[in-house]
């Protein structure tokens, strides 16, 4: 198909395509944009059109797919955008004051942690300080699975010690 034939076929479908675009977008300006996008994609891929097949169906499929792709982009793009000023109240509310009871509890938790054997305490402490599993494994010359299991068992032992000392209610209050 020559470029002239292709353009003639597109011109013959212009009203139909605009109506379809209006049905999809329900907005005149967005319909014009969708029309332009469709014509550009159709022209770019004109060599993919098979002679003897339905040209109208081919072009409307391009339009529908363009609309769907744009809709998905807009949906994910609009999900996260929110001014930082709107979140300042969260930072103000999240301030934790250090009270005597929290200081005492931290000291007691550090003592409970100190009572763990080095096998569990060292990887747990490194993980708590921000090291990744891989970094801990490299520094301790251990397989990564061993590091993960030691951290898991350290958490389990700490949870048991805290529960024994303070009861279940403390863990529920923290969670």
Cβ–Cβ < 8 Å for 38, 17: yes
- Select from 2.40.100.10, 1.10.1740.10, 1.10.760.10, 1.10.10.410 the CATH code of 3-80: 1.10.1740.10
The boundaries of every CATH 1.10.10.10 domain in the chain are 98-174
What is the pTM for the complete model shown?
0.45
pLDDT at 141: 93
Q: What is the pLDDT of residue 105?
A: 72
* Gap between the Cα atoms of 80 and 52, Å rounded: 46
Would you state the pLDDT for residue 84?
Answer: 55
Enumerate the CATH 1.10.1740.10 domain ranges in the chain, comma separated.
3-80
Tell me the C-alpha distance between 17 and 135, whole Å. 58
**What is the tens place of the pLDDT at every residue in 80-139?**
555 555 555 555 555 555 666 666 677 877 888 888 888 999 999 888 888 889 999 999
| CB-CB contact of 142 with 115 (8 Å) | no
Question: CA-to-CA distance for 82 and 143, rounded, in angstroms?
Answer: 42
Mean pLDDT of the 67-75 span: 85
pLDDT digits (tens, 9 = 90+) for 3-29: 888 889 889 999 999 999 999 999 899
Give the 3-state secondary structure of residue 23.
helix
| Topology of domain 98-174, CATH | Arc Repressor Mutant, subunit A (1.10.10)
Residue 130 CA, chain-centre distance (Å), reads 22
Tell me the mean pLDDT in the region 130-158: 91
């Amino acid at each position: 198909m020559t470029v002239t034939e292709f353009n003639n076929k597109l011109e013959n479908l212009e009203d139909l395509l605009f109506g379809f675009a209006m049905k999809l977008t329900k907005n005149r300006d967005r319909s014009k944009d969708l029309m332009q996008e469709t014509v550009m994609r159709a022209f770019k891929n004109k060599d993919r059109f098979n002679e003897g097949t339905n040209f109208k169906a081919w072009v409307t499929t391009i339009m529908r797919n363009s609309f769907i792709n744009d809709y998905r982009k807009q949906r994910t793009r609009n999900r996260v955008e929110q001014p930082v000023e709107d979140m300042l109240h969260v930072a103000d509310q999240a301030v934790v004051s250090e009270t005597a009871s929290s200081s005492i509890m931290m000291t007691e938790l550090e003592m409970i942690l100190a009572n763990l054997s080095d096998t569990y305490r060292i990887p747990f402490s490194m993980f708590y300080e921000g090291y990744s599993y891989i970094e801990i494994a490299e520094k301790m010359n251990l397989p990564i699975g061993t590091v993960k299991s030691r951290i898991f068992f350290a958490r389990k032992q700490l949870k048991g010690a805290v529960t024994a000392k303070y009861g279940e209610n403390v863990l529920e209050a923290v969670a």
